[in-house]
Structure 1
Amino acid sequence: MLLCRVSPVCRTLARWGRRSQRGGGLLLGRAVSCSSNRCYGVSPGEGSAEPAETGSALSRYRDTVLLPRTEFPMKLTGQKLLDRELQIQQDCGFAELYSWQRERKAKKEFCLHDGPPYANGDPHVGHALNKILKDIRNRFEMLRGRQVHYVPGWDCHGLPIELKALGELGTSGLSALQIRQKAREFAEGAIARQKAAFQRWGVMADWDQCYYTFDGAYEAAQLNVFQEMHSKGLVYQDYKPVFWSPSSRYCFSVRPRSLKMPSWSTTPSTDPGGRGGNVFVLVWTTQPWTIPANQAVCYMPNAQYSVVKRADTSQLLLLATECTASLAALLGTELQTVATFTGSQLEGGICKHPTIPDKQVPLLPANHVTMGKGTGLVHTAPAHGMDDYSVASQFKLPVECIVDEDGRFTELAGPELQNLPVITEGTDKVIASLKDGGALVLEEQCVHSYPYDWRTKQPVVIRASKQWFINTASLKDKAKEALQKVRVLPESARGSLLAMLDRRTYWCISRQRSWGVPIPVFYHKETGEPLINKYTVSHIAKLFKEKGSDCWWELPIEALLPPEVLKKAGPVSEYVRGDDVLDIWFDSGASWAAVLEESDSRADAYVEGKDQLGGWFQSSLLTSVAVRNKAPYKSLVVHGFAVSEKGEKMSKSLGNVVDPDEVINGKEDSSSSAYGADVLRWWVAESNIFSEVQIGPSALNSARDSINKLRNTLRFLLGNLDGFDPRVQAVDPKQMYYIDQYMLHLVREYSMKVTDAYSEFDAGRVIRILQAFVNRDLSSFYFSIIKDRLYCSPEDSLGRRSCQTALEEILDGVTRSVAPILPHLAEEVYLHAPGHDKTLFKSGWIKSSSVWRRPGLEEAVEGACAIRDSFLSSIPGKNASQYDLTVAIEPGLLFELMESLQEEPTSTSSQLTELMMAARVTLTSTLPRDLHPDALLSHGTFLINLEGGVIREDSPYSIAVTPTSAARCPRCRRYTSESADCLCPRCQAVVSHAG
């Protein structure tokens, strides 16, 4: 019986079905029709159908072929994709999932403490990278049975929010409470926009129970940390140099930028070391405006110094010996060495100040002096340099600040300099004074790193002021010890964390703004002495918890102080409340105390970008070590930044900013496609998060294509599970076909690899393992083998049910494994999969069983696969089903393993024949002598390794491949029929049973 030849279009339709008559979904049918001729449904075999004399074959057989059938769509695009994701979130209870898992019983908890994003703008791809990365791990931990503790939070205080909230209004005429109200409103608006985006990305949390650093309860917990540190003497007030921004009137941490500044040298007269003669001490600085505040000149005690004579002027100069050659080149003259000695011999030397008549300054030893640039002698102004201040502390030098809060010289700098801005006119005036006094040897232009206020884009100065500090020097050793118990991913980030910790000699925690948590201190009006102790701070913390920190400005002082303190302090009228607020890094650094459930608990992980090595990671560590003598985290995960596809930092001026909202929904004013949330999540998971993470059309299109390929695999699985109920129709693993059991074995190995990768925060490895399993083990191997059994075996046969049992486990394993990354797709698949009565995320992790690993199973199938590879390589590009295969193996382990796949000597339907995809397989101990003259011969070996290497056998085999003499069955298209017009025995039985 002949059938009409199937056109390519019809063959595609036959493969993937027809439109359902019941609605818009795609329903895979069991036969299709061509517009001109009636065509036969897809065959598991290769090649096209043969011409048909009549349509009777179709009418007889089409309903007996069990083609895949499912309403799961092959692809979702545009608005349908967006609607489907939102529907999944609604139907599968994304909003309630976090609360559900918090209420269930669990043996272990996984705590990922959320670093608070700053509440001063719209959500961006940096947020997406961070929040989705955290959510992938949280969903994985929840699926495998742990109770996840994850409370999203926001950092709500600080100057950027205050400046944006006030805009052009400034602070003129506004009270502190008015400024705070506007800042709060601005922060709340930013939080609402960011929160909505995080929810749309599928981030699992209780979004009604977040933490905010402006909440009264949070502020109270923060003050309790402050009080603990103050009681231990770690918090103190001092007059020290800090970075000060005249443009913001604010002390803060800075970002270095390049700035051209004049460098110069002074020559105060002296007689160093009592050598006699008029010798000039040569120093070099890039901050000329600090010269009027000079209190000393520092040298390196162990370095070599020389007195040299200028060939052009006979002037005697003192400088470091190793700097002589470079200085001679700069001055354009020869420098002749007069004397050389060690720096320690300069002890007791006195210099004349270059701009202040009759003032003398000492020569002092200091370890911060370097020889890389300059002269090996360093100008020291204690009020305007961090190292300078350390020298002043050691040698009891005066610390006189000559710059006011507006960045202008004070009267201490002298009448000629007073009120001049130090960076511009003040610098020019100081240089002019040096020239007039004959103290300027050389002036040159250079480029060097200089601190800028990144908010106002104006340079900052270092000036001494009275501030509150944390003594980090006394905490460093404890912090380093605590870090030894912390796992850092990647490990290379640990060095950066330690280096930044080393560079922090102290931490200034006071800020001169209104929008923040007030430092709970009162000052005596006459003496300026601070009033602060555990009773005052504890009392104020209780008030903050009840009323919020606005009460610092709203309540009278007598209400802010506890009764026992009021009795001892004296009249309240003698005190004023402080105006400073706490540094926002102290705000966020105390989050462990406000958010983690137990006072002695540690989070399993902190996950943030690399900029937090010197920020939240460090401030959290210092506060926790100070209060609890341990780190607040067990592990740190440090990821890179999101950059453009060219590796550039994103900026509006370059036009390379990627908006995550536009990624998901598409641009309103263009034809760009909507990718949906899962594509954004796949991009995060697939990226190497420990480096800079690139995003753009190429990366997003690649992510979408990968998801669509995965959808097709899942759709194939769903289609072949139509009508299968694993609860009643699943086959016991011991009764399953070997190849099906082998796939369960591979699923088990796959699940273990995926579990390990998720545990290492390596979602990229999860994707690579997933794609290898889907492409190699499923599509290229298993699916190609089982189609005949799926489509053409009896519906309720052991072979078909065995295959469906394996497919259901594969579908379940793959779906669960990808669920943390693609929760929308996973839930969509789960809704179509058989035998489920609740959502995927409430049903647990991959359910693999040790029963799936049977002794000898792996060796039997992989031995057969080795023979299969030899067979297929002998007929490159040809249809394996058109050949008979003879396999010759000497008696031994390999022969016994192959016998487990084919008990009879020759077969067209054995498990070995199915695996080979041949027409017929003959299993024998030796090749027959009467082989067909066209037989293709090949040989190979397979190493059997059983019981962990106890049993090892290198087994040879030979194969002979000959064209089959059988005809192709018109139903299954395998070459197993006696003639072309009759069905093979298997198909005859199926058709007869179907009537």
Structure 2
Amino acid sequence: MVLLGHRATVLRVSMILCRISAVSRTLARYGRWSQWGDGLLHRALSFSSSRCHDSGSAQGLYRDTVLLPQTEFPMKLTGQKLLDREIEIQQKCGFADLYSWQRARKAKKEFCLHDGPPYANGDPHVGHALNKILKDICNRFEMLKGRQVHYIPGWDCHGLPIELKALREMGTTGLSPLQIRHKAREFAEKAIARQKAAFQRWGVMADWDQCYYTFDGAYEAAQLKVFQEMHSKGIIYQDYKPVFWSPSSRTALAEAELEYNPEHVSRAIYATFPLTTLPPKIASEKGLEGVSVLVWTTQPWTIPASQAVCYMPNAQYSVVKRADNSQLLLVATKCTASMAALLGTELESVCTMIGSQLEGGICKHPLLPDKEVPLLLANHKTMAKGTGLVHTAPAHGMEDYSVALHFNLSVECVVDEDGKFTEQAGSELQNLPVMTEGNDKVISMLKECEALVKEEQCVHSYPYDWRTKQPVVIRPSKQWFINTASLKDRAKEALQKVRVLPESARGSLLAMLDSRTYWCISRQRSWGVPIPVFYHKETGEALIDKHTVSHIVNLFKDKGSDCWWELPIETLLPPEVLKKSKAGPVTDYIRGQDVLDIWFDSGASWAAVLQESDPRADAYVEGKDQIGGWFQSSLFTSVAVRNKAPYKSLVVHGFAVSEKGEKMSKSVGNVVDPDVVINGGKEPSTPPYGADALRWWVAESNIFSEVQIGPNALNSARDNISKLRGTLKFLLGNLRGFDPRVQAVDPKQMHYIDQYMLHLLRKFSIKVTDAYAEFDAGRVIRTIQAFITRDLSSFYFSIIKDRLYCDVEDSLGRRSCQTALEEILDGVTRAIAPILPHLAEEVYLHAPGHDQDETLFKSGWIKSSSVWRRPGLEEAVEGACAIRDSFLSSIPGKHAAQYDLTIAIEPGLLFELMEFLQEEPTSTSSQLAELMMAARVNLTSELPRDLPPDVLLKHGTFLINLEGGVIREDSAYSIAVVPTSAARCPRCRRYTSESADCLCPRCQTVISQAH
């Protein structure tokens, strides 16, 4: 009542001021303004100042009549308030129960994202954040779209790093496998608890009480079923062949467990193998009896195991004579010049031949005088480095082993499990570590027997154990293998049906498949899933078949894999199983001690986790290191068992690196801890950013390359969220008191500019939806920012403020605007929700139009409608915008509201479209005037002839394209811009009043209706 009384007083004062103003103009015109007039005006203004909040300005009279934005939604949240608010949102909006809720609801389609299990050996890091948040963005989008999300988080729990950390705490001597396993499990469980808590704090949606762990008995049982099926098909087999062997871990390694050190330094040598039987071509030449084959190797320690020297059949070779000592050497012709420079002497070519003419040659082993070494052809050698001739040690090289198979050479291993020479290498070398003292001793022995021609330092890429960071060797061992060569073609065929993002990663996947001929899956450790095999005590023959494995599967399902060591062998291999397997008494057998490679552990996860109805995930989302890891192991196991890939899509993202693009390292001091990112650190330079800022960083990044993180990226994320909050606050503030359920305006009755914004909102929602569907959250953010900056802040918001603030509260125009704003708020909030769930739910708590206990994530995706696309609407508004651009560019740096605008368009489509926006010839309040933001707009078919001298003229054209190009018209228009003669209204501040002290007609109407 007080406010109404105040407004009535304001209205009366306003009318007095208007009458005084009119009288003053009349009296002034006749020179009759008197002291009486001055006094009347003074008394009126004195009265108004005593009744207004702003005593210094007439505009203060109307402040309370203007509908300014009001909302309790805070513009900024920082520090502890931000952290408390995020936790409050998680609790209030049911983050913990959301996954279970959506699993229980009815849905037509399911979306399955299978979680590649992170390793349970440490604290959560930004690599985890990048991966888990990416997955969560995808899952939340799919859930909002109405799909039932299947996402079960998991952990990879076995393996050497965990075992080594357990051993470090317990010591390494006298421990049983069970003691090691119990300590390793304890360590893994603690790491899982820390990681799980972090993932929940990041807002990752899942049922955190129903995760999968590779050390669970049910998981291990499912894994062994896959093992058994592959074994029964002959894809898994036992063999004695070279493998990557880690002396520092005392176990075999698979290719995926190697790291290649590009800075490894080797003592490379050039050594001679004297020819004892000359090839026919060389024998036919006179005086060439003392020829030696010159070989080059970066691994001198392999010389004692040499069985052959290989050449390329189509390359050209030369016998050359050294000018300094007349020594005759056989080398590839292409290498002659480089060898001469290396040896510091001229090399005279004595004779040449092609490689195939070297067949039949035999050398004497430089260190083993009684051993003959044949010359053999092999196509895998190159002349990029060396002499074109390479000594071949089948036990210590993968390609060398292939030569041995082809020519039936013996595979003699001279290195033990500790990486030391065995007795077979000779008494001088026995027990020396091959990579250090053993290497030195071999070089020394070659020098003593005058077989060493040259030694040099060679920096090259060399495989290291990815866990111990120590070099590996290649040595033969009796291991269990997967014959990947037999699966390769089927795997490639299956991969062709898989969508790969980015597509460039497909080439890397195929190249990895090509490079792998077999996969060693046995490990000589305790912490893992035991290979369910029994060995005959006398013959060493393996006992493994569907009967033995099925029995072990059931035991593991009930008791877990510890029972392999806990139970007596009579329980593991009972009489009924022995009978089915047609095996002898149980006393003839011992259980195997090897465990499965953890890549087989995790690679079989599709069988243990995915639903049996269709055990194919819609997507696997992991880092690029999984191209040779989990992506590949999953593909091989699935193709072997089911002849199809376990995934429909692969999303391959880059690594998280420092702001300088460097790999994160504690020693360098550039590690970014996600806990410090969220909660802040001890230094002022590490403020708390909250979980949403971390999520924004993930979403905004180009995930298909290396993803940089640091203060700049995090500050940018915080600032961008702050700008977004400002837009959301504006929207919320202008929707105060508006209930779209009862006050929304029918789209057909809305102002055209409001309808147009709904049309833009629909286009925006389509772009956002497409970007999310393509796993491109970065494009989502760019689309959101462009919509807010270009379409809302710079365009729509600047146009509608007058209508929002100054029109009658429940007028059609204002409600029309609020209807559009509510749809925009809803659309933008849902668009950001998968990325910023905390902010989205916070906005939803303040937004109108829904029940108080309803949450955004339970209410679906953006509700755009085809009704928002009306024929001619887009062309009408965009035609007006083209004219608006011409108008605004003609008055650079000046206020559009201070000008009258005349628009001249010849009769035609464009004129008819402009009439949608302004039916009358001249108006200060039409939709066209609002859009132009001018004082007055005149719409005419031609410019008037009596334009004032200060007029600004401009001409332009606009192409109208209707009905998909069926109707096209290039329409010309002209504009004339002149300063307005109207005064500025003290309430709305538009130049539409008769005088500066008088309300404009619109504001007078509003004030009069207010009481």
Equivalent runs, 1:850-889 vs 2, <5 Å: 850-889=866-905
Counterpart of 1:811? 825
What is the TM-score of this pair, normalised by structure 1? 0.94
Please name the residue that 2:157 is paired with.
Answer: 156
1:700 Cα shift?
Answer: 0.5
Q: Residue 254 of structure 1 corresponds to which residue in structure 2?
A: 258
Counting only pairs closer than 5 Å after superposition, residues 635-654 of structure 1 correspond to structure 2 as 635-654=649-668
The answer as to 2:594 corresponding to 1:580 is yes
What corresponds to 1:316 in structure 2? 328
User: 8 Å contact 1:2–1:52 — kept in the other structure?
Assistant: no
Given that 1:369 and 1:376 are in contact with CA atoms closer than 8 Å, whether structure 2 keeps it comes out as: yes
Match of 1:65 in 2: 66
Aligned residue in 1 for 2:410: 398
Deviation track 1:235-281 (CA, whole Å, cap 9, x = no partner) reads: 11111111112222111132122332222212323233134323211
Counterpart contact for 1:488–1:635, Cα < 8 Å: yes
SS of residue in 2 equivalent to 1:244: strand
1:296 paired residue number: 308
| Alpha-carbon separation, structure 1, partners of 2:798 and 2:924 | 17
CA displacement at 1:2 relative to structure 2: 9.3
For the pair 1:987 / 2:1003, whether they are aligned, the reply is: yes
Instruction: Tell me the secondary structure at the aligned position of residue 739 of structure 1.
Output: helix
Question: Compared with structure 1, are the counterparts of its residues 403 and 184 closer, same or farther at alpha carbon in structure 2 (3 Å cutoff)?
Answer: same
Structure 2 counterpart of 1:263? 268
Q: Look up the match of 1:29.
A: none
Q: Equivalent of 1:52, from 50, 57, 62?
A: 57
Which residue number in structure 1 is paired with residue 177 of structure 2?
A: 176
> 902-911 or 805-814, which moves further after superposition?
902-911
Matched residue, 2:444: 432
1:828 counterpart residue number: 842
1:927 counterpart = 2:943: yes
SS at match of 1:306: strand
Say whether residues 1:87 and 2:91 are aligned partners.
no
Q: Which deviates more, 534-543 or 427-436? A: 427-436
- The Cα of 1:745 is off from its aligned counterpart by 0.2
Amino acid at match of 2:494: A
Asked if the contact 2:14/2:999 (under 8 Å) is kept, the reply is no
Any conservation in 2 of the 1:2–1:970 contact (CA below 8 Å)?
A: no
Determine whether 1:482 maps to 2:494: yes
> Which residues in structure 2 correspond to 1:271-420 (within 5 Å)?
271-274=277-280, 275-276=282-283, 277-420=289-432
User: Following TM superposition, by how much is the alpha carbon of 1:977 offset from its aligned partner in structure 2, in angstroms?
Assistant: 1.7
Q: 923, 927, 933: which one pairs with 1:917?
A: 933
Query: Out of 443, 467, 472, which is 2:484 matched to?
Result: 472
Cα distance between partner residues in 2 of 1:402 and 1:752: 66
2:919 to 879, 903, 907: 903
Change (3 A) 1:38 1:596: farther
Q: CA deviation at 1:496?
A: 1.4
Counterpart of 1:931 in 2: which secondary structure? coil
Q: 1:441 is paired with a residue of what secondary structure?
A: strand
Shift of 1:364: 1.2
Aligned residue type for 2:975: I
Cα distance, 1:131–1:958 mapped onto 2, change above 3 Å:
same
CA deviation string 1:739-766 (max 9, x = no partner):
0000000000000011111111111111
Matches of 1:40 and 1:108 in 2, distance apart? 62
Corresponding residue for 2:982? 966
Q: Which residue of 1 aligns with 2:536?
A: 524
2:576 is the alignment partner of 1:571: no
**How far did 1:547 drift?**
0.6
Mapping of residues 236-247 of structure 1, within 5 Å: 236-247=237-248
- In the TM superposition, residue 649 of structure 1 has moved relative to its aligned partner by 1.0
Shift of 1:663: 0.4
Distance 1:462 1:945 in 2: 70
Q: Per-residue displacement from partner, 1:700-759 (whole Å, max 9, x unpaired)? A: 011101001000100000000001000010000000000000000000000001111111
Q: In 2, distance between residues paired with 1:40 and 1:167? A: 79
Letter aligned with residue 886 of structure 1: T
Give a deviation string over 1:769-800, Cα, whole Å, max 9, x none: 11111011101110111111111111111000
Q: Partner of 1:495 in structure 2?
A: 507
Say whether 1:730 aligns with 2:744: yes
CA distance in 2, matches of 1:528, 1:38: 108
Q: Is the contact made by 1:122 and 1:193 (CA closer than 8 Å) also made in structure 2?
A: yes
Is the partner of 2:616 in helix, strand or coil? coil
> Closer, same or farther in 2 for the Cα pair 1:383/1:949, shift >3 Å?
same
Residues 208-244 of structure 1 deviation map (CA, whole Å, 9 limit, x = unaligned): 1111110111111110111111011011111111111
User: Which runs of 5 or more structure 1 residues have no equivalent in the other structure?
Assistant: 4-36, 42-48
Q: Does 1:552 align with 2:567?
A: no
Other structure's SS at 1:516 match: coil
For 2:206, what is the secondary structure of its paired residue?
A: coil
Q: Which residue number corresponds to residue 101 of structure 1?
A: 102
SS in 2 for 1:422: coil
Contact residue 551 and residue 577 of structure 2 kept, 8 A: no
CA contact (8 A) 1:266 1:434 kept: no
Cα deviation for residue 313 of structure 1 reads 2.4
CA contact (8 A) 1:39 1:58 kept: no
Q: Which residue of 1 aligns with 2:9?
A: none
CA distance in 2, matches of 1:716, 1:983: 27
Q: Distance in 2 between matches of 1:909 and 1:364?
A: 95
- Cα deviation, 1:34-86, whole Å, max 9, x if unaligned, reads xxx99989xxxxxxx99537xxx745x33321111111011101111001000
TM-score normalised per structure 2: 0.92
Q: CA–CA distance in 2 between the matches of 1:530 and 1:617?
A: 30
Contact 1:225 1:627 in 2 (8 A): yes
Deviation at 1:168, TM superposition (A): 4.8
Residues 600 and 845 (structure 1 numbering): CA distance in 2 closer, same or farther, change over 3 Å? closer
Q: Offset at 1:447?
A: 1.6
- Per the TM alignment, residue 599 of structure 1 is displaced from its structure 2 partner at its CA by 6.0
| 1:254–1:451 CA contact under 8 A, matched in 2 | yes
Alpha-carbon deviation of 1:171? 2.7
Q: After superposition, give the CA deviation of every residue in 1:617-656 in whole Å (9 maximum; x if it has no partner).
A: 1111111111111111111111111111111111111111
Specify the code of the residue in structure 2 equivalent to 1:202.
Answer: G
The 5-angstrom pairing of residues 163-202 of structure 1 reads: 163-202=164-203
Kept after mapping to 1: 8 A contact 2:274/2:290: no
Change in CA separation of 1:39 and 1:193 when aligned onto 2, cut-off 3 Å? farther
Separation in 2 of the partners of 1:988 and 1:489? 61
Q: 1:431 and 1:704 mapped to 2: Cα distance?
A: 61
Deviations for 1:799-825, whole angstroms, at most 9, x for unmatched residues?
Answer: 000000000000000000010000000
The DSSP-based 3-state class of the residue aligned with 2:81 is helix
Do residues 618 (structure 1) and 650 (structure 2) align?
A: no
Query: How far apart in 1 are the matches of 2:238 and 2:141?
Result: 47
CA distance in 2, matches of 1:726, 1:267: 91
| Contact in 2 for aligned 1:246/1:460 (Cα 8 Å) | yes
Offset of residue 946 of structure 1: 0.6
Of stretches 264-273 and 621-630 in structure 1, the one that deviates more from structure 2 is: 264-273
Superposed CA deviations along residues 893-925 of structure 1, whole A, max 9, x for unmatched, are 011011111111111111111111111111111
Q: Which has the larger displacement, 310-319 or 785-794? A: 310-319
User: What is the SS of the residue equivalent to 1:312?
Assistant: coil
C-alpha distance in 1, partners of 2:948/2:480? 96
Bigger CA drift: 448-457 or 734-743? Answer: 448-457
Alignment CA distance shift 1:362-1:599 (3 Å): farther
Structure 2 residues not aligned, in runs of 5+: 1-12, 16-48, 284-288
Residue 282 of structure 1 aligns to a residue whose secondary structure is strand
Match of 2:961 among 939, 945, 954: 945
Structure 2 counterpart of 1:146, one-letter code = R
SS at match of 2:462: strand
Question: Which of 439, 446, 464 is the matching residue for 2:458?
Answer: 446
